[in-house]
Structure 1
Amino acid sequence: MSATPPLPLLKRLPPAVWVAVTWCASTLFTLLTTVRFPGETEPGKWPAAQLYRWDGLTFLVLAAALVLTGSRRLPGRPLTALALLLTAAGLVTTTLGVGEVPLAQFLVVDVALYFIAAGHRRRTGVIALSMALAMLVTWMAVRLLSSWDVGMSAELAVALVTVIAWLLGNATHRTREYADKLSARAAEQAVTAERLRIAREMHDMVAHSIGIIALQAGAAARVVTTQPEAAREAMTAVENTGREALSGLRRMLGALRQADHGEAPEAAGLADVDGLAAATTAAGVRVDVRRLGERRQLPPDIDLSAFRIIQESVTNVVRHAATDSCEVSIDYGDDDRLSIEVADRGRGSGTRTDTGFGLSGMRERVALLHGEFTAGPRPEGGFRVTVRLPVPAPAAAR
């Protein structure tokens, strides 16, 4: 087992940070175009007079406040956030004395539009694109009606980049939807295949024994009044065969979940948790194991299933939690239940590339043993998997 390296820093930045950084960079670039650098006879753009007056500076401060507010609202209220960003772009443009909204200054809107199209419903993305284009059209219409200079060709380039940003976000959204559908279908097929496998194993393991039990019980019923001793022998055979069938069924339940590709062997159990913790710690994620109650021998199927659940949970922590530690609690308790909890304080939330087979497999495993399974985020941060498995009374009394 190897630790998955954390995501690059750029991919861990939320959309709000990208929007704010884009606005700062584009505004700085736009302002620099109004300055004459060495070797230039004149600046790239002549600013309006108010750029260096109190009203121009007020517009810049107000635009910055609008961008910061809009970036914070982008995840939950995307259209409101985009309206704030469009207003900020318009305020800054009024201080530049140009005939169009500069492409650099409109990049903050394009970045927000990409995230809206990629992370929200298609209808929301279409409305956001319409708002952005409507702002450009309105800007040009006002200038035309006022007989001011208009940079029509430059504004068409701005509109084209805006449409491209929306297309990229929409393509990302469709790709994620397709991946989610494939993942859900694959998980459903995996569960169905596992159930069919269980049915086949149960037939091979139990059908013969059940047939013998039926024959012996029928023979005993026929001779119970005339040959009591023969009936007693037949019922003894029924008892022995039933015990053998139950033992074989338990072994089958443990064998069904044997993992492939070099994982722990079939005989694995809770005794191997310490080795699993040591290997995971050596790989970079510390696993703290805590045992409560008196250790006792468990049926093979429960022992193996408990280990597999811990193994899969720890694997999920290593792959998705973005943390360097987790806690494993094993509570043997004083009653007829075995409780397991695996918790972490990671930042991960389950990426879209996560197939979800781990949680589905654990849920199916627990259902086979008539246990209880819960998994979800912790209120204080991180993720928790909790399992309670019933332990048969004979095993609990050993």
Structure 2
Amino acid sequence: MAERRPLIARRLRPGHWVAVDVFAAVALAAGFSVPAVLAPESAGVPPFVAAPVIALACLPTAVRRRWPVPVCAAVLVAAVIAPFAGWQEAFVPLAVALHAVALLRARRTAVTALVAALAVTAAGAAIGAPSWTEAASVCGFAWLLLGLAWTIGLAVREQRAYAAQAVARSAQAAATAERLRVAREVHDVVAHSMGLISMRAGIANHVAATHPEEAGEALSIIEETSRKALTDLRGLLGLLRDIPEDRDDGAPRMVDRLRELVAAIPDGHVRVELDVEPGLALGGEAALVVHRLVQESLTNVLRHAGPARCRVTVVTRARREVVEVVVEVVDDGRGGAPRTGGHGLAGLEERVTLHGGTFSAGPEPGGGFAVRARLPLPSGSGSGSGSGEDDR
């Protein structure tokens, strides 16, 4: 089916609206002047009296968007003179001018213009109509037209203001979300690397005098960790410069990164067991979220758990016809409530929530601390089989 294009594909520019107003003003002037010239006996006044009044009322509306208040004032003057010239339809160009005031000026100015227009129209109907019945009929119709034009102009003005506020709020929300995303990336990259460097530096300082070979090994690991941190920071800076980052790592790349994280843990401090489902294939944002989950969780284990054992599990499970990747990082260290003032767990929860998953972190009943997360995967992702139905 062919795509339907709008009648006006491009947004009209100010010059286009001026052309529309000029055409409308000339059409109004011609439409009211021709009957006054061809049938002057119906108005009871000569054509040279009615035609200038009609021109004064209609032609200024051509520039109503540029000078709405002066144009409305000029049309009001013409509307005051119109009954004496035998012209009873001055409320039509007055409605056009009133619409521009309501659309482009403050509400107080628009209300003042509306009251003046209603008063002038009522006076003109009373002067020009042969009877009170006809005057009431003409006045009611004129007031209806004036009120409708004024209401439409005010409604469009309010709608534009609301749309501008919505765009500003949306831009502010997008900027806030971007700042939070950058903050999460910086925290995850810097905190983990600095935690490992601090741990290894402490070990090197402690054994420098008695076991220089261990101190040298620790310094080598510090050097390697620093280089990886610099690489991650360069990738983050590239992301901020809108350089696309290759996040479609696939199974081997993600598993290798998890193994690198585990291998960087100091020996004898925390024993980490890595359990990744065989054949697990994750790419794109899901792989990044899993990597950051494990990275931040291991950093917290190093900082707060003390000497402990830690188990990292990454598997897929089918749950209500949705395949999820389940990440668990559980240690048997000191545990306790999450530390206040940090941003690591809060950033993890934001990442998982933005990905449509669930996140929990807290002390275990038997001691230790656990971080658990579930991330829904697109159809066709994962290992292809999963670990069966999970009703937990």
TM-score (norm 1): 0.49
Out of 141, 147, 154, the position equivalent to 1:170 is 154
* Aligned position for 1:197: 181
Q: Deviations over 1:36-84 (max 9, x none)?
A: 6xxxxxx5971343323xx5565566x17x944x654643x53232111
Instruction: Confirm or deny: 8 A CA contact 2:200 2:222 kept in the other structure.
Output: yes
Specify whether residues 152 and 8 from structure 1 end up closer, same or farther in structure 2 by C-alpha distance, changes over 3 A only. Answer: farther
Output the CA distance in 1 between the equivalents of 2:149 and 2:121: 15
Specify whether residues 239 and 266 from structure 1 end up closer, same or farther in structure 2 by C-alpha distance, changes over 3 A only. Answer: closer
Output the CA distance in 2 between the equivalents of 1:10 and 1:93: 40
Specify whether residues 67 and 31 from structure 1 end up closer, same or farther in structure 2 by C-alpha distance, changes over 3 A only. Answer: closer
Specify whether residues 45 and 214 from structure 1 end up closer, same or farther in structure 2 by C-alpha distance, changes over 3 A only. Answer: farther
Q: Is 2:153 aligned against 1:157? A: no
* Aligned position for 1:330: none
Give the aligned length: 243
Q: Deviations over 1:116-143 (max 9, x none)?
A: 3233332232222122112213334556
Specify whether residues 128 and 26 from structure 1 end up closer, same or farther in structure 2 by C-alpha distance, changes over 3 A only. Answer: same
Output the CA distance in 2 between the equivalents of 1:180 and 1:18: 25
Instruction: Confirm or deny: 8 A CA contact 1:117 1:173 kept in the other structure.
Output: yes
* Aligned position for 1:78: 68
Aligned residue type for 1:165: A
Output the CA distance in 1 between the equivalents of 2:195 and 2:105: 58
Instruction: Kindly state the Cα deviation for residue 168 of structure 1 after the two structures are TM-superposed.
Output: 1.3
* Aligned position for 1:391: none
* Aligned position for 1:183: 167
Specify whether residues 244 and 179 from structure 1 end up closer, same or farther in structure 2 by C-alpha distance, changes over 3 A only. Answer: same
Out of 218, 222, 228, the position equivalent to 1:244 is 228
Specify whether residues 107 and 94 from structure 1 end up closer, same or farther in structure 2 by C-alpha distance, changes over 3 A only. Answer: same
Out of 28, 31, 48, the position equivalent to 2:30 is 28
Q: Indicate the structure whose relative CO is greater, using CA pairs within 8 Å and at least 6 residues apart.
A: 1
Aligned residue type for 1:83: A
Output the CA distance in 2 between the equivalents of 1:149 and 1:48: 21
Q: Is 2:123 aligned against 1:121? A: no
Percent sequence identity over aligned pairs: 34
Instruction: Confirm or deny: 8 A CA contact 1:60 1:91 kept in the other structure.
Output: no
Instruction: Kindly state the Cα deviation for residue 184 of structure 1 after the two structures are TM-superposed.
Output: 2.4
Instruction: Kindly state the Cα deviation for residue 187 of structure 1 after the two structures are TM-superposed.
Output: 2.2
Output the CA distance in 2 between the equivalents of 1:47 and 1:10: 43
TM-score (norm 2): 0.50
Instruction: Confirm or deny: 8 A CA contact 1:255 1:266 kept in the other structure.
Output: yes
* Aligned position for 2:336: none
Output the CA distance in 2 between the equivalents of 1:83 and 1:126: 14
Specify whether residues 5 and 32 from structure 1 end up closer, same or farther in structure 2 by C-alpha distance, changes over 3 A only. Answer: closer
Instruction: Confirm or deny: 8 A CA contact 1:115 1:169 kept in the other structure.
Output: yes
Instruction: Confirm or deny: 8 A CA contact 2:36 2:50 kept in the other structure.
Output: no
Out of 118, 133, 144, the position equivalent to 1:133 is 118
Specify whether residues 93 and 139 from structure 1 end up closer, same or farther in structure 2 by C-alpha distance, changes over 3 A only. Answer: closer
Output the CA distance in 2 between the equivalents of 1:116 and 1:14: 19
* Aligned position for 2:46: 50
- Structure 1, unpaired ranges of 5+: 37-42, 259-263, 268-398
Specify whether residues 179 and 132 from structure 1 end up closer, same or farther in structure 2 by C-alpha distance, changes over 3 A only. Answer: same
Instruction: Confirm or deny: 8 A CA contact 2:72 2:98 kept in the other structure.
Output: yes
Instruction: Kindly state the Cα deviation for residue 172 of structure 1 after the two structures are TM-superposed.
Output: 1.5
Output the CA distance in 2 between the equivalents of 1:214 and 1:251: 23
Output the CA distance in 2 between the equivalents of 1:16 and 1:106: 21
Instruction: Confirm or deny: 8 A CA contact 2:83 2:124 kept in the other structure.
Output: no
Q: Deviations over 1:249-303 (max 9, x none)?
A: 2213434787xxxxx9647xxxxxxxxxxxxxxxxxxxxxxxxxxxxxxxxxxxx
Instruction: Kindly state the Cα deviation for residue 233 of structure 1 after the two structures are TM-superposed.
Output: 5.2
Aligned residue type for 1:205: V
1:9-20 → structure 2 map (5 Å cutoff): 11-12=12-13, 13=15, 16-20=18-22
Structure of greater Rg: 2
1:1-398 → structure 2 map (5 Å cutoff): 11-12=12-13, 13=15, 16-34=18-36, 43=39, 46-52=42-48, 59=53, 63=56, 67-68=59-60, 71-72=62-63, 74-75=65-66, 77-91=67-81, 94-95=84-85, 97-98=86-87, 101-102=88-89, 105-140=90-125, 151-223=135-207, 231=215, 234-255=218-239, 266=245
Instruction: Confirm or deny: 8 A CA contact 2:204 2:216 kept in the other structure.
Output: yes
Q: Deviations over 1:211-270 (max 9, x none)?
A: 111112223333556666755554454343222202112213434787xxxxx9647xxx
Output the CA distance in 1 between the equivalents of 2:93 and 2:158: 23
